Every structure is written in C-alpha cells, then in structure tokens.
C-alpha cells in the first residue's frame, strides 16, 4: 500500500482507534440494552457474603515491591541488550574488522552480563527472591496410612 | 482493508476460542460440552455474547468509578493493538503491486509486541485495584509481580534469537526461516537452533497470558475470581476476551519466531510446480502460507488448552522460584552459548 500516506505509526494509530471504537460500541450497546436496578446490597463489595470490613486500599506485602524494584533494574539492562543483539552477528562488521568485531562485542557484553549476574547473585544471596513458603499444618488423623509416608510426600514436594 | 480484516479475524478466532476451550475441556474430561445452541453448539459464543450485552451490570459503591471502567478497556485495547505487526502471510501480487498480508511492517515489530503486551498488565492492575475488594487487589498485585518476573526471562530468550537473526522485524525473521533444512525448502526454522530458548519463551508465554499452570491472579480456590471478582457482564467479557486475544497473539509470535511463520516445508517445490504463471504461483503459495500460519496458531492455542487441563496450578513461591532462579539463569546461559556458537560457527562447519 505504497500510495497511502500513512506512516508506520499512523497505521498503529488506526489500530488504536479501531480498538477504542470496538470497546466503546461494546460498552455503549450493553449500557443501552441491559436493565439497571441497583440496590445497596448489590453494590456492596464481595467478601464471601460477610459485610466488607473497611476499605481494601491498605498496605500489602512489601515483597511485591522489592520484586518490582529488582525488575526495573534488570529490565533497564535488558533494553541495552536489544541493540547489541541486533548488531552482534552482522557479517559486514565482522568482515570489515577481520573477525575481531565478534570477539570485541562478545567480550564487551560478557563484562556487562557479568555485572548483571553479580546483581542477580546479590539479590539471590540476600534472599530477596525467596518467597514465603506456606507451612502446612498437618492434622492428626487415624488413617491406616503411616504418617511417615505423608511426611515423605510433603518433603518431596516442598 | 487489511486492518479491518485482521481485526475481524482476531476477534472471530477469540470468540471461537471460548467455544474451543469448552469443547476441549469436555473432551479431556470425557463430557459432551456445549451442544444445544446450533449444530454441535457452534452458536454458543453468539449466545454468550448476547448474554453479556443483556446482563445487568453494576459498579460497586466503594469502587473507583472511572478506573473500574478503564481497567478492562485498557486490557482489551492493548490486546487489539498487538496484532498490528504480525506477518500473516507473504506478499500478494495484485496488478503488479506487492501487497503485504500484514497490518504494518515496522523494523521494530518485536519490540512493539513486547511493549504492548507488557502494557496489558496495567489493565489487570488498574481493574483489580479500582474494585476496592481484597481478593481483587491480591489478584492484581499477583498478576503484576508474576508478569514482570517472567518478562525478564522472555526478553532474554528473545535476545538469543535476535543474535542469530540480526533484525527486530517480524517479517525479516520469518523470511530468514524460508531456507533449506535437511534438503527441504521452507523448513529452516529457528526451533532447530534455539530449542532451549523456545522452551523458556513458551513457559513465559503461559505466565504472561495468566494461563494454567500460572493462573494465580485468578486462582479461584484462594481468591474467588481474582482481579475480576467484582466484574460482571460486558466488562468481564472484555477481560476474558482480552485474555484470548493475547493467547492468539502469543501463539502467532511463537510461530513467527520459532516455527517459521508462513513458511511451510517444500514451498519452493510447490511454487515451481503449482502453476505456470509466476504471479499466480506466488499468490497461491502466499495463500497456502497464510493457511499454514493459521494452522500453526491453532496448534499452539490447542496446546494452551491442553496444558490447562493437564497441569495443576503452581504455588506462589514455586512460581517465583521458577521465574527468577531457574528461567533467568537458563536464559542468560542460552545467550552466552548462542554468542559462542555464532562466533565458532565457521570452525564448527569446517570440522564436519
């Protein structure tokens, strides 16, 4: 479609608009068609049939936050990998430099990767990647199967 | 034209994915599955859509009204946008013009998909938070944490592939796989050079689309409905629809990156023998290629559903351990191995 004057991202804008129109039609049509009889019971938040206790916009486990921080660091490093990966194997560059280009870029990236691995090792050793494991409470029962077998299974899959 | 076509086809496939999911689940569990609406229950997705339109819907009194609507819309919007750069087929020659069977060909296609799919987690996060429900909030932060963890391994597995292809354009990557392998043209697929990368990518694809065994954000035994506990009718429909569109996109990306996209074994032979007119032969091969590409997508979608009814769900600590302590080191090792292999390729070739 060379004759159209849309640039690459113009087409992506068209996709964006198309998606938005689809969503608007969906939401708009359902708004016109559906019944609407709200009452306070219906509008309360679901909490297993109990009345909801307070707001749920409260603090949550900081581990999620730590994971997000580590992710940011690694993802920024990952972004630097993409341009490197594209030029790494280019024949012209390798030929132009008599093959030293490959070694140069590999060693350069090895240093970068080493720093990245050091970071991974650091968070690993400090236990930021360990999630809290559930501690199963094993109920006492009069089963004919000996308790050691359960213990063995639990040990195997913990 | 092509844009509308791509839109229509992805949405149609996504609609019938819901049907396929229920039929496959029924088959695996030795049931019949939906069979009332239309022949073999084929009108079931239509009936579901009608229900979604006519069902009463309400926004919880405590929820953040605007973000509650924005969440599912954003999830669906990003899902719709990501199919823009997928090369569904080679070029069609009409009146001497080459027309690409693709929404748009950009030289950063892979980065674009990567970015847009990553945006999808905002839809879940916003919706889950705006519901003001404890289960939704837990589901949302689980989803965010899981998606970002597996995105790293996914990116690293792609990098090993990029080192070989040297291009971020999905069309270029596909065309490179059209060469000969074992004497068959169109079989030079990346899966033969990157098996480890493919396995890492596949695992991450399951985690990114929140499918079993990684469906912890909506794990009903712990979190009722997860991030969409408070959603009903059309907004729930948008979430579920977005999930299926994402599965299609991810299946298409896997076919393009590792399984040759629209290339099929023996395509050069077919091109030479199918018709005497070269234009007609080219067009016929392209159409065959599109059919093959959709076949690959459907095979992956079936695989997604098969796995859902085969593997149990992970526990959250197992999920995090797999993502950070197994997949990321493996992916880094894969990058290093690929780099060394590319450098030593001439020597290796000379040895045999």
Tell me: pLDDT of A45 over 60: yes
In the prediction, which pLDDT does A44 show?
A: 77
Contact B127, B75 (CB under 8 A): yes
Contact status of A44 with chain B (Cβ, < 8 Å): yes
In the prediction, which pLDDT does B32 show?
A: 86
User: Which phi and psi angles does A53 have, rounded to 5°?
Assistant: -95, 105
Flag whether the pTM goes above 0.90.
Answer: no
Nearest chain B alpha carbon to A135:
B317
Query: B31: distance to nearest CA of chain A, Å?
Result: 30
Domain assignment of residue B351, yes or no: no
Residues from chain A contacting residue B59 (CB–CB below 8 Å): 43
In the prediction, which pLDDT does A7 show?
A: 62
Hey, which of A36-45, A89-98, B67-76, B313-322 has the most confident mean pLDDT? B67-76
Mean pLDDT score across all residues of chain A: 78
CB pairs below 8 Å between A and B: how many? 195
In sequence order, the 6+-apart residues with CB closer than 8 A to the CB of A55 are B62, B132
Residues from chain B contacting residue A52 (CB–CB below 8 Å): 62, 133
Distance CA B238, CA A20 (A): 12
DSSP string, A5-61: ---HHHHHHHHHHHHHHHHHHHHHHHHHHS-----HHHHSPPSTTSPP-S-S-----
Domain assignment of residue B118, yes or no: yes
* Integer CA distances (angstroms), B225 to A47, B43, B48, B56, B220, in order: 11, 26, 19, 18, 5
Residues from chain B contacting residue A23 (CB–CB below 8 Å): 73, 76-77, 238
Distance CA B333, CA A45 (A): 47
In the prediction, which pLDDT does A3 show?
A: 44
In the prediction, which pLDDT does A8 show?
A: 66
CB-CB under 8 Å, A33 with B81: no
Contact B285, B267 (CB under 8 A): yes
Strands (E), B37-161: 87-94, 97-102
Taking alpha carbons only, the member of B44, B111, B53, B49 closest to residue B82 is B111
CB-CB under 8 Å, B237 with A34: no
In the prediction, which pLDDT does A1 show?
A: 42
In the prediction, which pLDDT does A123 show?
A: 84
Contact status of A47 with chain B (Cβ, < 8 Å): yes
Nearest chain A alpha carbon to B342:
A89
- Count of structural domains within chain B: 1
Query: B268: distance to nearest CA of chain A, Å?
Result: 26
Radius of gyration of chain A (CA): 29
Tell me: pLDDT of A110 over 80: yes
Q: Which residue has the tokens 């092509």?
A: B2
In the prediction, which pLDDT does A6 show?
A: 52
Residues from chain A contacting residue B74 (CB–CB below 8 Å): none
pLDDT band at A2 (very low <50, low <70, confident <90, very high): very low
Distance CA B286, CA B254 (A): 20
Interface of B with A in 140-199 (CB under 8 A): 141, 144-145, 148-149, 151-152, 155-156, 159-160, 162-164, 166-168
Q: Which domain holds residue B191?
A: 2-345
Angle between helices B44-54 and B233-258 (to 10 degrees): 140
Q: Are strands B180-181 and B97-102 parallel, antiparallel or unpaired?
A: unpaired
User: Which phi and psi angles does B229 have, rounded to 5°?
Assistant: -55, -45
Q: Which residue has the higher pLDDT, B329 or A95?
A: B329
CB-CB under 8 Å, B99 with A1: yes
Contact B158, B190 (CB under 8 A): no
Domain assignment of residue B350, yes or no: no
Contact status of B325 with chain A (Cβ, < 8 Å): yes
CB-CB under 8 Å, B167 with A117: no
Taking alpha carbons only, the member of B11, B58, B19 closest to residue B35 is B19
Query: A130: distance to nearest CA of chain B, Å?
Result: 7
Domain assignment of residue B61, yes or no: yes
Distance CA A90, CA B166 (A): 7
Interface test with B, best of A17, A27, A99 (most B CBs within 10 A): A27
pLDDT tens by residue, chain B, 352 residues? 667 777 788 888 888 888 888 888 888 888 888 888 878 888 888 888 888 888 888 888 877 888 888 888 888 888 888 887 888 877 777 777 777 777 677 777 888 888 888 888 888 888 888 888 888 888 888 888 888 888 888 888 888 888 888 788 888 888 888 777 776 777 778 888 888 889 999 998 888 888 878 887 777 777 777 788 888 888 888 888 888 888 888 898 888 888 887 888 877 777 777 777 777 877 888 888 888 888 999 999 999 888 888 888 888 888 888 888 888 889 888 888 888 887 777 676 666 5
CB-CB under 8 Å, B133 with A36: no
Query: A17: distance to nearest CA of chain B, Å?
Result: 9
Interface test with B, best of A1, A13, A15 (most B CBs within 10 A): A15
Q: Which residue has the tokens 């559930």?
A: A134
ipTM value for the complex: 0.73
pLDDT tens, residue by residue, A47-67: 777 777 777 777 777 788 888
């Amino acid at each position: 479609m060379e004759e159209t004057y849309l640039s690459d991202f113009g087409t992506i804008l068209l996709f964006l608009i198309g998606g938005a129109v689809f969503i608007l039609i969906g939401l708009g049509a359902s708004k016109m068609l559906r019944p609407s009889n709200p009452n306070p019971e219906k509008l309360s938040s679901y909490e297993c049939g109990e009345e909801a206790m307070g707001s749920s916009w409260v603090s949550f486990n900081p581990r999620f936050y730590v994971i997000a921080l580590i992710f940011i660091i690694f993802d920024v490093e990952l972004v630097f990998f993409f341009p490197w990966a594209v030029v790494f194997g280019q024949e012209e560059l390798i030929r132009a430099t008599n093959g030293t280009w490959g070694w140069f870029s590999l060693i350069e990236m090895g240093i970068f990767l080493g720093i990245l691995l050091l970071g991974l090792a650091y968070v690993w050793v400090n236990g930021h990647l360990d999630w809290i494991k559930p501690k199963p409470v094993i109920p006492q029962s009069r089963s004919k199967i000996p308790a050691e077998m359960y213990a063995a299974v639990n040990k195997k899959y913990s | 034209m092509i844009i509308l076509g791509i839109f229509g086809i992805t949405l149609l496939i996504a609609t019938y994915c819901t049907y396929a999911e229920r039929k496959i689940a029924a088959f695996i569990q030795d049931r019949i599955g939906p069979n009332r609406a239309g022949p073999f229950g084929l009108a079931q997705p239509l009936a579901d859509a009608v229900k979604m339109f006519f069902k009463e819907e309400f926004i919880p009194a405590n929820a953040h009204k605007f973000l509650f609507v924005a969440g599912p819309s954003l999830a669906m919007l990003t899902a719709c946008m990501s199919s823009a750069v997928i090369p569904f087929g080679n070029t069609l020659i009409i009146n001497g013009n080459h027309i690409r069977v693709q929404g748009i060909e950009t030289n950063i296609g892979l980065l674009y998909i990567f970015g847009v799919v990553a945006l999808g987690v905002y839809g879940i996060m916003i919706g889950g938070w705006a519901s003001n429900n404890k289960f939704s909030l837990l589901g949302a932060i689980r989803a965010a944490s899981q998606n970002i963890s597996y995105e790293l391994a996914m990116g690293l597995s792609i990098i090993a592939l990029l080192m070989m292809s040297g291009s971020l354009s999905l069309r270029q990557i596909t065309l490179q796989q059209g060469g000969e392998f074992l004497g068959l043209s169109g079989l030079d697929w990346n899966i033969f050079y990157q098996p480890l990368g493919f396995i890492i990518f596949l695992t991450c694809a399951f985690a990114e689309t929140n499918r079993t065994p990684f469906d912890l954000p909506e794990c009903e035994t712990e979190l009722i409905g997860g991030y969409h506990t408070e959603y009903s009718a059309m907004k729930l429909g948008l979430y579920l629809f977005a999930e299926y569109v994402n599965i299609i996109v991810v299946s298409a990306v896997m076919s393009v990156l590792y399984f040759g996209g629209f290339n099929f074994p023996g395509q050069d032979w077919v091109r030479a023998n199918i018709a005497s007119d070269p234009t007609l032969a080219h067009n016929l091969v392209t159409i065959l290629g599109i059919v093959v590409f959709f076949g690959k997508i459907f095979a992956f979608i079936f695989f997604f559903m098969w796995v859902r009814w085969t593997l149990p769900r992970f526990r959250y600590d197992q999920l995090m351990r797999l993502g950070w302590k197994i997949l990321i080191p493996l992916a880094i090792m894969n990058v290093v191995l690929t780099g060394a292999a590319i450098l030593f390729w001439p020597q290796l070739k000379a040895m045999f």
